[in-house]
């Protein structure tokens, strides 16, 4: 009664703490339980508890979360509970509607002065208002029936109330509409206008419910129709079966015939028929039916007995290989051997099978390993497929997923065989040394079965679940290095090294292959473009630093694009008076800086003059050979050996071996360091940012140390490579061609090599052997004779006496022990 009287008596404007609510609108005559978890709300609750338990509740705006709507309700805290984390659970009861007249903010507390929204004199129950109230009650009852979310207490309260204000508040509180619409209904002062707005909202919601009901009915009817069609379809199938028309009417007969036409093994046929039988019993739209259908289509698409006839023309195959690639003698000879054996076997039986070899081409990037696989297929007359294994780390990429997984597919091997369409393609596994592994399995282990001629005749993919014959496939793999390939996998492959190209080889490749290719690709084929040999050599020396020819191809392409730009500027090919065929350009050595800019590469860190403590080793990398300068200095200390230059453990051991060997034979040389035990040696191998490892720098390390000990520089222009043992023997090394190319590229005159590499030297091409002199040595003493002046050695007799005395002293100490 106090509330009603205050409304009639125009209550004064009062001040309350502001309680902002998120997507909640409170109405008078209603109660709501609210959790307050935000700072501004908790401060407002604390302030209300210190006052008279009343607040002004207003809804926050969606577009501006820091601002509330001006209209809201004055509410009283009926119950409150403070949680351990200082949040509140409060029960609020609405008292009357109001509008913010003014507000004052004190830190996070907002105090607002509220002006009540007064219904006015039209709140009296006249016939028009009564009729409107009954219409609203009727519409609300229909809404409650549709919604199923209105409580019985709310329905009873709405039916028995005789106040339009209370009726509007109860219904607005129960409506499931957006907060913006509730704010509009809260803000209307005139009772009649407000009831009309409530009725309009109710009628709109009821109409939406009616439309939803109609849509649901249509969907249900459509589903019943599909079910009816399925039942009729099954009945038709049964009728056809009774009439003996099963084979003609069976939709799976074509699929079964397609599988049988591929002539797979009996085991595959039995598996396919079993799965077809299961498929016939399943409903067409079930997930399992889709999986089985996809599986059977894979069996039907795979080649099981289709062969492509191999070319028996040895001369033609050799011509094709030579057309596509320069040099690569070993690889070409192996392919020609395969063709010859295949031809001899075919004389006995046209279908006689020779197990496809598994070749592994190893060499630096850009040497044509991948394109060689395509040329092999062309020379044999076979289909060609390729998959890249770089970064593959999931075993399922090779063996596939089992059919139980959603979206399962066969592995890349089976997918590529379907793409090939023949059982004997040339299959290239590119970048096999870049395989990875993780928790999903080891793809390298999965390849063991694929690349084993004794096992791949019955390769089983997880998806296919039946053996597939890969024994007729000619597998070709490529790698830049063998170190990362597991040994069991490496053991299954026939390794063929594809070494880097020498300068003359690169020149021939550029003139025969790269220049014509780039001229054609850049639209200058009708023109007359020529490159002088000196120009290409200059590009090789100063614009590329590689064992292959990729960078060389890019630089030649840059030259030709610049020439094409000049031809367009000069308006060649624009009309008949100046055809493109009349354009001529010869690229000389002097034109390169204009076409390509400044030189990119210089020689390695090589001094022209002889220096004390500096020797030059040779190193092999995945991108080719490089010079390995070794620098050594000494100073008084405690006998420590300091090694820098980002060296690996093996190379550090080589440095210690070299120092130990020289201490043992120091009486044979004019060593100026009196007490090596009190002398520190610092060995540095530039460049420090590049990691280096391996034993082949042993002789270079020993030469640098001996030069420092004797303070005598080695002869200039000599590079060396070889592993040094503790007794002074020089062991053979690998990567000979790449190392020699690096020496030639950096202007070395001679190279000292281990005597056991003499056979490798004999197999090299003439352009390399004629470009540099080579000395073969068996011991470090032999190498030092070539590197240093004779003055470095002491008289043999004196040295031998001292050496014998040392040996005699060690023997005596050994006997005493």
- The catalytic residues are 696, 739
Question: Cα–Cα distance between 515 and 98 in angstroms, integer?
Answer: 87
Q: Which residues pair with 385 in a beta bridge?
A: 427
Q: Which residues pair with 750 in a beta bridge?
A: 718, 773
3-state SS assignment for residue 567:
helix
Return the closest-CA partner of residue 450 out of 110, 435, 440. 435
CB count, 10 Å around CB of 692? 20
- Sequence-distant (≥ 6) Cβ neighbours of residue 728 within 8 angstroms: 661, 665, 779, 780, 781
Q: Where are the alpha helices (DSSP H) in 604-722?
A: 649-664, 698-710
On whether the CB atoms of residues 359 and 405 are closer than 8 A, the answer is no
User: 3-state SS of the chain: helix, strand, coil percent to 5?
Assistant: 50, 20, 35
- Sequence-distant (≥ 6) Cβ neighbours of residue 355 within 8 angstroms: 453, 471, 472
- Sequence-distant (≥ 6) Cβ neighbours of residue 625 within 8 angstroms: 500, 547, 618, 619, 735, 737, 738, 739, 740, 741, 742, 743
Burial label for 682, CB within 10 Å (0-12, 13-18, 19+), is: middle
Residue 217 has φ and ψ, to the nearest 5°, of -65, -40
Question: Cα–Cα distance between 227 and 271 in angstroms, integer?
Answer: 31
- Sequence-distant (≥ 6) Cβ neighbours of residue 30 within 8 angstroms: 93, 94, 169, 170, 173
Answer positive or negative: Cα dihedral of 641, 644, 648, 654. Answer: negative
Cα distances (Å, whole numbers) of residue 278 to 143, 295, 569: 51, 12, 71
Question: Cα–Cα distance between 792 and 715 in angstroms, integer?
Answer: 12
On whether the CB atoms of residues 464 and 410 are closer than 8 A, the answer is yes
Question: Cα–Cα distance between 242 and 221 in angstroms, integer?
Answer: 32
Beta strands in 553-603 (DSSP E): 584-587
Question: Cα–Cα distance between 614 and 627 in angstroms, integer?
Answer: 13
Burial label for 817, CB within 10 Å (0-12, 13-18, 19+), is: exposed
């Amino acid at each position: 009664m106090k509330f009603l009287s205050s409304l009639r008596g125009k209550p004064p404007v009062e001040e309350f703490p502001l309680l902002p609510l998120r997507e909640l609108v409170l109405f008078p005559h209603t109660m709501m339980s609210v959790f307050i978890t935000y700072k501004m709300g908790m401060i407002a609750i604390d302030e209300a508890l210190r006052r008279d338990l009343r607040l002004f509740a207003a809804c926050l705006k969606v577009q501006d979360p820091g601002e509330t709507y001006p209209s809201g309700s004055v509410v009283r805290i009926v119950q409150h509970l403070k949680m351990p984390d200082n949040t509140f659970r409060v029960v609020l009861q609405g008292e009357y509607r109001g509008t913010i007249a003014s507000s004052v903010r004190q830190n996070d507390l907002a105090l607002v002065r509220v002006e009540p929204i007064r219904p006015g004199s039209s709140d009296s129950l006249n016939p028009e208002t009564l009729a409107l109230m009954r219409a609203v009650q009727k519409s609300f009852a229909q809404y409650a029936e549709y919604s199923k979310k209105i409580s019985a207490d709310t329905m009873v309260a709405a039916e028995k109330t005789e106040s339009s204000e209370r009726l509007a508040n109860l219904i607005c509180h129960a409506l499931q509409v957006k907060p913006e619409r509730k704010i509009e209904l809260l803000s209307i002062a005139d009772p009649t206008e407000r009831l009309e707005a409530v009725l309009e909202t109710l009628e709109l919601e009821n109409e939406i419910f009616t439309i939803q009901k109609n849509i649901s009915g249509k969907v249900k009817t459509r589903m019943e129709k599909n079910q009816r069609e399925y039942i009729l379809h099954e009945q038709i199938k049964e009728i056809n079966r009774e009439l003996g028309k099963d084979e003609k009417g069976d939709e799976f007969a074509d699929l079964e015939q397609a599988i049988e036409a591929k002539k797979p093994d009996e085991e595959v046929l039995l598996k396919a028929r079993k799965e077809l039988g299961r498929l016939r019993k399943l409903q067409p739209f079930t997930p399992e039916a889709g999986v089985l259908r996809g599986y059977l289509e894979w069996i039907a698409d795979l080649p099981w007995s289709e062969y492509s006839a191999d070319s028996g023309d040895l001369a033609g195959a050799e011509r094709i290989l030579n057309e596509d690639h320069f040099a690569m003698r070993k690889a070409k000879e192996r392919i020609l051997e395969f063709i010859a054996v295949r031809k001899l076997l075919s004389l006995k039986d046209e279908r006689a099978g020779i197990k496809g070899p598994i070749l592994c081409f190893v060499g630096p990037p850009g040497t044509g390993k991948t394109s060689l696989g395509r040329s092999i297929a062309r020379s044999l007359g076979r289909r060609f497929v390729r998959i890249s294994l770089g970064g593959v780390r999931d075993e399922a990429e090779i063996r596939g997923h089992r059919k139980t997984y959603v979206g399962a597919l066969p592995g890349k091997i089976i997918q590529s065989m379907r793409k090939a369409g023949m059982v004997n393609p040339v299959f290239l596994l590119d970048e096999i040394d870049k395989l990875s592994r993780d928790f999903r399995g080891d793809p390298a282990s999965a390849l063991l079965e694929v690349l084993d001629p004794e096992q791949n005749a019955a390769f089983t993919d997880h998806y296919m679940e039946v053996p597939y014959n890969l024994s007729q496939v000619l597998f070709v793999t490529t790698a830049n290095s063998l170190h990362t390939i597991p040994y069991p996998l490496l053991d299954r492959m026939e390794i063929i090294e594809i070494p880097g190209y020498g300068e003359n080889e690169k020149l021939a490749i550029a003139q025969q292959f790269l220049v014509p290719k780039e001229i054609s690709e850049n639209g200058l084929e009708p023109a007359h473009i020529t490159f002088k040999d000196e120009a290409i050599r200059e590009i090789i020396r100063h614009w590329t630093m590689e064992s292959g020819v990729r960078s060389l191809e890019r630089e030649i392409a840059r030259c030709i694009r610049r020439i094409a730009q000049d031809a367009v500027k000069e308006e060649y090919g624009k009309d008949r008076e100046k055809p493109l065929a009349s354009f001529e350009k010869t690229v000389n050595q002097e034109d390169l800086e204009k076409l390509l800019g400044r030189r990119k590469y210089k020689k390695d860190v090589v001094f022209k003059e002889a220096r004390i403590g500096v020797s030059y080793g040779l190193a092999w990398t995945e991108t080719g050979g490089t010079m390995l300068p070794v620098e050594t200095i000494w100073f008084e200390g405690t006998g420590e050996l300091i090694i820098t230059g980002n060296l690996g453990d093996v190379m550090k051991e080589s440095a210690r071996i070299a120092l130990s060997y020289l201490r043992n034979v120091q009486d044979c040389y004019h060593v100026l360091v009196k007490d090596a035990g009190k002398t520190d040696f610092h060995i540095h191998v530039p460049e420090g940012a590049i990691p280096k490892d391996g034993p082949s720098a042993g002789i270079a390390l020993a030469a640098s140390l001996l030069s420092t000990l004797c303070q005598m520089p080695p002869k200039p222009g000599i590079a060396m490579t070889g592993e040094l043992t503790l007794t002074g023997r020089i062991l053979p090394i690998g990567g000979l061609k790449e190392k020699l190319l690096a020496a030639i590229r950096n202007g070395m005159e001679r190279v000292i090599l281990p005597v056991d590499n003499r056979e490798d030297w004999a197999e090299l091409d003439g352009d390399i052997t004629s470009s540099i002199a080579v000395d073969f040595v068996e011991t470090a003493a032999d190498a030092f004779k070539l590197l240093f002046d004779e003055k470095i050695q002491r008289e043999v007799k004196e040295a031998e006496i001292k050496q014998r005395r040392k040996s005699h002293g060690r023997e005596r100490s050994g006997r005493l022990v």
